Amino acid sequence: AAGVIQSPRHLIKEKRETATLKCYPIPRHDTVYWYQQGPGQDPQFLISFYEKMQSDKGSIPDRFSAQQFSDYHSELNMSSLELGDSALYFCASSQGPLAVEEETQYFGPGTRLLVL
Amino acid sequence: AQSVAQPEDQVNVAEGNPLTVKCTYSVSGNPYLFWYVQYPNRGLQFLLKYITGDNLVKGSYGFEAEFNKSQTSFHLKKPSALVSDSALYFCAVRVGMTTDSWGKLQFGAGTQVVVTP
């Protein structure tokens, strides 16, 4: 079965550079979530989109922005990168809004970002 | 605040023995609970969820979880562990649901499971 695709899988950047992470949801999934997982930590919610509109926002820095496009893929743009941004960034997708019982988030393999 | 807690950083079990990974929750209203597993350098894989209905939920790879409302727990179980079950397991609760949003997942700290041959 098709899964969530994230690119790139690994990314190395210098401080103050910018980075763009891409997420391609499972076909027919219209909701996308972004999470950040620091070393040894649990994933933290950043932002989500439903039908190309932002639906929820978590602890996402102002230096980060994201959007969902007409084909439902999403991009997370990160500017003025800091050492602390080094983390694993997950994208998840779901098919919503169905009945709440139906909504399950399926995660991609993640993008590992290292800021030097 | 709605949250889940995983009291054990690591669980060690011998192959073939029962495996239990503990999770307790604190939510207002009906809890929507999930278990995910993370293998090294891999994404989070969905195992199972509890929304409503039977307290015993069966999921992928032979895992099941028991929802216990009186004890506010949602422990993950497997009758006979395999070495390949060694991974990081996360319990999660869906929070922040509104009429405009499905909310998001709030994860526990994770429990490292080590299954020895």
CB contact under 8 A, A48 and B102: yes
From the list B40, B41, B84, the residue with the least C-alpha distance to B63 is B84
Instruction: Name the DSSP class of B83.
Output: G
CATH of the domain at A63: 2.60.40.10
Tell me the C-alpha distance between A30 and A24, whole Å: 10
- The band of B25, judged by pLDDT with boundaries at 50, 70 and 90, is very high
CATH of the domain at B25: 2.60.40.10
Give me the residue from A41, A55, A106 closest to B100, CB to CB: A55
- B39 and A CB contact within 8 Å: no
pLDDT score recorded for residue A43: 93
Q: Which residue segment(s) compose the domain that B56 sits in?
A: 3-116
Phi/psi at A87 (5° precision)? -175, 175
Alpha-carbon A22 to chain mean position: 7
- B109 and A CB contact within 8 Å: yes
**What tens digit of pLDDT does each residue of B83-110 get?**
999 999 999 998 877 776 777 899 999 9
Count of structural domains within chain B: 1
Count of structural domains within chain A: 1
Give me the residue from B32, B51, B104 closest to A45, CB to CB: B104
- B78 burial (CB, 10 Å; 0-12 / 13-18 / 19+) is buried
CB contact under 8 A, B101 and A48: yes
Q: Quick one: closest CA in A to B48, which residue?
A: A104
Give me the residue from A55, A100, A105 closest to B51, CB to CB: A100
Q: Which residue segment(s) compose the domain that A12 sits in?
A: 5-115
- The band of B28, judged by pLDDT with boundaries at 50, 70 and 90, is confident
